[in-house]
Amino acid sequence: MLREAGAHLWDAAEAAKLVCEFASGRTKAEFNSDLVIRSAIERQLEILGEALKRLRRDYADTAARVPGLDRIVGMRNVLAHEYGDIDYEILWRATTTEIPTLIPILNQLVDEAWGAAGL
Catalytic-residue membership of 54 = no
pLDDT at 2: 66
* Residues 6+ positions from 104 with CB-CB distance below 8 Å: none
Q: Phi and psi dihedrals of 93, rounded to 5?
A: -60, -45
Q: Minimal CA–CA distance to 28: which of 19, 38, 18?
A: 38
Please report, in tens digits, the pLDDT of each residue of the chain (119 residues total): 467 889 999 999 999 999 999 999 999 999 999 999 999 999 999 999 999 999 999 999 999 999 999 999 999 999 999 878 889 999 999 999 999 999 999 999 999 987 765 55
pLDDT at 60: 95
Q: Which residue in the list 8, 38, 54, 76 is annotated as catalytic? A: 76
Catalytic-residue membership of 76 = yes
- Tell me the whole-structure pTM to 2 decimals: 0.91
66, 71, 77, 82: CA torsion to nearest 10: -160
pLDDT at 51: 97
Q: Find the angle CA(37)-CA(110)-CA(79) to the nearest 5 degrees.
A: 35
**Residue 39 to residue 3: CA distance in whole angstroms:** 30
